Structure 1
Amino acid sequence: MPPALLDALAIAVTQRVAGALPGDRRAAGVGAGTELAQIRPYVFGDDVRRIDAAASARTGEPHVRLEVPERTLTTWLAIDVSSSMAFGTATRLKADVAEGVALALGRLALRHAGRVGILTFGAGEPRLLPPRGSKAGLVALRRALADGVAVDGGHDPHALADALGRVGRIARQPGLVVVISDFREQHDWARALGALRARHAVLAVEVHDPREADIPSVGRIAVVDPETGQRMEVDTSRPRVRERFAALEAERRGTLAAELRRLRVDHAPLSTGEDWLLHLGRRLR
């Protein structure tokens, strides 16, 4: 992964979250930090280590220095591992793009003493890994991704909504939530995503494949929905069938984009047939 591109992506991500680089993020109240909040007279019970020598010398009485406390950024990665993510007709699978995005943003999250939490969903019970920093966080992320995606046709249409609700209940401090999914055949997730957006910076990474929007003319074929396991025969030689297929997919993706705009959630659509890292950086900037 090119270091220069990763650095540019780091700046774009941190600007989306806090409008400043790590170390400038503010927490509520006053406490230990580097930015001055106020200088006031010393009162009994104050930490003597906070006494400001210059102010005390000027006024002739002890004064203490209080700073704006700084906090580390916690990034939550909600990763779709349902069976539809194993689809891909270009140079890679959708799961490959999702893995790359998770690793790139995970590395960014661990910079400047940050932490990363992971939640995988869509393959049975969601798997939650609490936030970790440094090398432990990256190891946990790699292990979670090594489990791969679901191989059966089991489909839960509320897996995304349940995962977002779970992140909202656990992530109490403001941070960054990244949802990496193809958003296919998922329902009733908008309310949970909106609740996350009220507290956190949220980025929705939509992974798709070119063949999902354009079916070729190859005669009669049998297709299987990887999410539901439903099988159907389709005559792709008929132009009307291909046009209807493309129209339905365009409508689905348009509805998704409109819903994310309504929720004011940053939307980064990535394709298996493109340089996803370059497009992600451009989209964030």
Structure 2
Amino acid sequence: METKELLKKVRQIEIKTRGLSRNIFAGQYHSAFKGRGMAFSEVREYQYGDDVRDIDWNVTARHNKPYIKVFEEERELTVMLLVDVSASRDFGAVGEMKKSVMTEVAATLAFSAIQNNDKIGVIFFSDKIEKFIPPKKGKKHILYIIRELIDFHPESTGTNLSLVLEYMTNAIKKRCTAFLISDFIALGNYKNALSIANRKHDLVGIQIYDKRETELPNVGLVKMYDAENGSEDWVDSSSKKVRDAYIRWWNERQNVMLDYMRKSRVDLASIATDEDYVKALIGLFKRRS
């Protein structure tokens, strides 16, 4: 992308997403994520009504009476965006391109983090770690992230969700809030990596998908191209059997993803490219508040 065109696009996204984070998400982001970042402060004697899950059993055993851990809200969080840059994001038949929606969602979350005095970092991934931007604060840092979201060119076309989750778990030592932004079309068992990442960090899944991906239209003989592995196949979409098989394929993938998220206790927002992502993010924030 030409520099002038890129800067214009960066400015457009900055104006839109900064306004959203300031006018719509102010306060909701804080209540949804700030309360999850708690630091140990001290212990005190148990009082009626305290949560028994906060009991410090070592201190209780030493004093022969119950003591609980007291926590205080951490003043700043580290927020990580794990952004899928595989070839399947370059698709858009209904509404915006998946890549465009991913960029706006990521930018909105980044501005929300900065306005709450949090650090923001990014990991771009395909079936390899494409780029790691360490967490920092400041508008200059945000604009750099937006430029990369718009104009990043990955080396690989595939997807490996386990790889990015394991990388983030190892690379970010302090507990952070992480948003895994992907279409989640990739095959592979990433449940274990998802569970481990969410135990160490506060992980949230954001699925961006195109409704045309959920079913095969009846348009006769069509050539299907897999952008991630480069394979091509002719498919007879006029066959109801073929169309039904495609729907089953999509539903099976969705059900596997939802099962992984549920068992790993990871919150998820699914956003279609022709839907209002603002409404979906607000719904996600409210569920967590």
Q: TM-score range by the shorter chain?
A: 0.7 to 0.9
Asked if the contact 2:123–2:129 (Cα under 8 Å) also holds between the matched residues in 1, the reply is no
Match of residue 138 from structure 1: 142
Within the candidate set 7, 15, 37, 2:31 is matched to 15
Asked if the contact 1:72–1:114 (Cα under 8 Å) also holds between the matched residues in 2, the reply is yes
Deviation at 1:11, TM superposition (A): 3.3
Deviation at 1:28, TM superposition (A): 3.0
Deviation at 1:9, TM superposition (A): 3.0
In 1: Cα distance, 2:95 partner to 2:122 partner = 26
Asked if the contact 2:34–2:74 (Cα under 8 Å) also holds between the matched residues in 1, the reply is no
1:73–1:281 distance in 2 versus 1, CA, 3 Å:
same
Q: Within 5 Å, which residues of 2 pair with 1:103-252?
A: 103-122=107-126, 125-148=129-152, 150=154, 154-157=156-159, 159-252=160-253
In 2: Cα distance, 1:190 partner to 1:106 partner = 26
In 2: Cα distance, 1:15 partner to 1:27 partner = 16
Match of residue 11 from structure 2: none
Asked if the contact 1:95–1:149 (Cα under 8 Å) also holds between the matched residues in 2, the reply is no
Deviation at 1:258, TM superposition (A): 1.4
Deviation at 1:4, TM superposition (A): 6.6
Structure with the largest fraction of helix: 2
Within the candidate set 76, 82, 102, 2:80 is matched to 76
Q: Structure 1: any 5+ residue segments left out of the alignment?
A: 31-36, 39-66
Instruction: Render the CA deviation track for 1:165-209: whole Å, top value 9, x for unaligned.
Output: 111112122221000001122423222221121122111001111
The structure whose Rg is larger is: 1
Asked if the contact 1:81–1:123 (Cα under 8 Å) also holds between the matched residues in 2, the reply is no
Deviation at 1:142, TM superposition (A): 1.4
Match of residue 93 from structure 1: 97
* Letter paired with 1:96: S
Deviation at 1:94, TM superposition (A): 0.6
Q: Provide the alpha-carbon RMSD of the alignment.
A: 2.5
| Alignment TM-score, normalising by the size of structure 2 | 0.76
Asked if the contact 1:120–1:128 (Cα under 8 Å) also holds between the matched residues in 2, the reply is yes
Instruction: Render the CA deviation track for 1:16-49: whole Å, top value 9, x for unaligned.
Output: 32438xxxx543347xxxxxx99xxxxxxxxxxx
In 2: Cα distance, 1:105 partner to 1:214 partner = 30
* Letter paired with 2:85: V
Asked if the contact 1:114–1:134 (Cα under 8 Å) also holds between the matched residues in 2, the reply is no
In 1: Cα distance, 2:34 partner to 2:216 partner = 42
Deviation at 1:155, TM superposition (A): 4.2
Asked if the contact 1:222–1:233 (Cα under 8 Å) also holds between the matched residues in 2, the reply is yes
Within the candidate set 9, 14, 39, 1:27 is matched to 39
1:78–1:210 distance in 2 versus 1, CA, 3 Å:
same
In 2: Cα distance, 1:211 partner to 1:203 partner = 25
Q: Structure 2: any 5+ residue segments left out of the alignment?
A: 1-15, 45-70
In 2: Cα distance, 1:69 partner to 1:248 partner = 44
| Alignment TM-score, normalising by the size of structure 1 | 0.77
Deviation at 1:70, TM superposition (A): 4.0
Deviation at 1:156, TM superposition (A): 3.8
Deviation at 1:105, TM superposition (A): 0.2
In 1: Cα distance, 2:221 partner to 2:239 partner = 9
Structure 2 residue matching 1:96: 3-state secondary structure: helix
